[in-house]
Structure 1
Amino acid sequence: MATWNLSNTIHHLLICNGSSCNRVGAEDLTQELRKEISIRGLDDMIHTTRTRCNGRCHDKCVVINYPQGNWYKDLKPEDVTIFIDSLLDNKDYTGKISHSYNNHGFDRSPEVVTGIRKDPDKVKKVSK
């Protein structure tokens, strides 16, 4: 098991590999992102983590750029070069952002499905 030195990391990409994203190519997207990062010698700057479901199945494939707070939707392997370019240029990958963090919460792109609200009355309470 590796312990990465993250001191030079600028972008941490959380790549959803939940079942909905996997059905439309999340593993291919994950491998293509990692390959492009490696080819460009950006491993020290861009770290990737494969996650389970991020709860935005309608937006599959989902990638979250932390700490910037942008959630990207509908990413495909063929988007990887432009996506990495946008990260390096500190520009948003127009048309692919579903949500952006604004220091108070998330702004949702108008064309993105709002989704369901979490109902606190239906959440199972965990005893301490």
Structure 2
Amino acid sequence: MATWDLSNTKHHILICNGSSCNEVGAEELTQAIRKEISDREFDDAIHTTRTRCNGRCHDKCVVIDYPKGTWYRDLKPEDASPFVDSLLANEDYTEKVSHSFHGQGFERAAGVIDGVPKEKEKVIKVSKII
């Protein structure tokens, strides 16, 4: 098992590979982003992790730029190049931003649905068990 040296890492990209995202090409997106990073020889600065569901299934495919705190929606393999361009410029890939972190919380981009409050979701799950 590898233990990566993260001392030069500027971006940790979390790529949702949950079931909803996988249905619309999350694996292809993951490979396209990784290839773009590798082809540009930025593996040392941009680390990727394939995740399970990030809870924004309506926004599939979801990608999160950590530690910046920017969430992206509706990414497709053809977005890999402009997405990596934005990372290298330390800018947002604005046309695909769903949420941005601004110190005290997240700001939702125009046209992005609110979603279900987590408290309500817990109540629904508990009531199904009973």
TM-score (normalizing by structure 2):
0.92
Opposite residue 19 of structure 2, the aligned amino acid is S
Q: Is 1:30 the counterpart of 2:27 in the alignment? A: no
Q: Whole-Å Cα distance in 1 between the matches of residues 8 and 91 of structure 2?
A: 19
Aligned-pair CA distance for 1:94: 1.6
Separation in 1, partners of 2:76, 2:54: 17
Structure 2 unpaired stretches of 5+: none
Q: C-alpha deviations, 1:78-110, integer Å up to 9, x for none?
A: 011100001111121121000000010000012
Aligned to 2:117: 117
What SS class does the counterpart of residue 116 from structure 1 fall into?
coil
Question: Does 2:106 match 1:91?
Answer: no
CA deviations on 1:46-85 (whole Å, 9 max, x unpaired) are 0000000000000000000000000000000001110000
Higher relative helix content: 2
- What amino acid is aligned across from residue 19 of structure 1 in structure 2? S
Provide the residue aligned with 1:58 in structure 2. Answer: 58
- Give, in angstroms, the shift of residue 118 of structure 1: 1.4
Count of residues in Structure 1 that have an aligned counterpart in Structure 2: 124
Cα RMSD, aligned residues only? 1.3
User: Identity of aligned pairs, percent?
Assistant: 67
The residue type paired with residue 63 of structure 1 is V
Structure 1 runs not aligned, ≥5 long:
none
Opposite residue 81 of structure 2, the aligned amino acid is T
* Residue aligning to 2:40: 40
Cα distance in 1, alignment partners of residues 116 and 12 from structure 2: 27
Distance in 1 (alpha carbons) for counterparts of 2:32 and 2:69: 22
